[in-house]
Amino acid sequence: MLELLASLQDSELVARFQRRCGLFLIEDVHHSGERNGLPLGHTDHSDDTPSEKLKKRCRPNGHVENISEYRREYDSDHKYKENGVVVGSCSGPRYVVRNRLLYFLFLLSAGLGHEVFYITVLPVIHWNLDPFLCRRLINMWTLVMYIGQVMKDLLKLPRPSSPPVVKLEPRVDAEYGLPSTHAMAAIGISFTLLLSATSRLQFQFEVGLLIAVVLSSMVCLSRLYTGMHSVLDVISGALISSALLFLTYPHWEAFDRFQLTSPVYPVMALVLPLFLSYTYPELDHYSPTRGDTTTILGAGAGSSIGYWVNQQLGETFEPKGRLPVPLPTLTGSVLALGTVRALVGIVILVGIRQIVKTLSVRALYSWYRVPLSDNNARRRKEIEVPSKFVTYASVGLAHCLVVNRVFILLGLQWSNSNIL
């Protein structure tokens, strides 16, 4: 068993997957011979190696200045005639992409686990589909992400090493690897949406199941392609998230009632996430996991309080009529209105995020007598935790309480003819 776990944790296994998908370290391309597409025994008679030529082509921002010119010289020196070669950043990992379709597909899939996805797609489900579904998704997302982040910093298992792996997301390289929270979130969100939507919307379950499997699989595979997780990390994340779904699913209805009707829930929804943020496991070096976890807990807390307030006000913005309701016909007017609502809502959330973030950081810098020019102070626990928690709790509150009411003021509410 230990031998199997070690093999699943092996960086070379990830590197082989990357090479199968057409992603190579640039050093591998001109050193490894036939294995990566170059003839064995080939000798480079030029004065500069391809890596040295690449460095000379770099702008100050670290990107290749002229990919086509570099490619011509590379082809000339090495008789390398593969089509569609793309060279990566010079300041970061230097790599060659021989399959552009997989490259962009996996980068897009990896983006489904980043903040830009959570701050756009989840609220859009609330505004344009059903707040009930969004509430379920946020609850499960908060749970799986917190457990995954804490496990990373308790187990402290490293990410794949480079070389041999190409790492496309160096920002998160300071974090530990197991489990993959991308895999956990992908499975948690996909299957929570599928299981919750059956009682709310009329759709073919088999189609929904296929979509959930494909999306979650693409996100899981993207963590191997980007070189940020081992196979063991991804499998562990998928299994943990599946277990959490299995254990919590029977209690979703009971928690819904408690979340919306209990008079003590708002206090609990605020105090517990804040407590978990401050008691997050300490590391001997700085890692973005604490800040990212605080962001998630803050957004979950703000959203939960917002849903509770809407319930007390008697306006939940949920579908009217007998459930499950049919999906609306995707006419041009429905798509246009949904797009406008999404754009207006996202602008509001991003604006609130920026305003609260700036004000909270300035207030904390002033309180702790830190000069505004000291950007490293933002990593201090007493500044990072409250600033991120307040910022994203405000975003969560706004997405529930503010945006739908702005739609009404702007005349962007759904009419009886196209409401769900």
Burial tier of 389 (Cβ tally within 10 Å: 0-12, 13-18, 19+):
buried
CA angle at residue 287 from 282 to 288, to 5 degrees? 115
- Active-site positions read 182, 229
> How far is the C-alpha of 98 from the C-alpha of 83, rounded, in Å?
7
On whether the CB atoms of residues 413 and 128 are closer than 8 A, the answer is no
Dihedral sign of CA atoms 193, 194, 196, 198 in order? positive
Cα–Cα distance between 382 and 86 in angstroms, integer? 43
Residue 388 CB burial class (10 angstroms; 0-12, 13-18, ≥19): buried
* Angle between the N-to-C axes of helices 252-261 and 265-278, in degrees from 0 to 180, rounded to the nearest 10: 110
Q: What is the CA radius of gyration of the chain?
A: 24
DSSP string over 295-324: HHHHHHHHHHHHHHHHHHHT---PPPSSSS
Tell me the sheet residues that pair with 58: 64
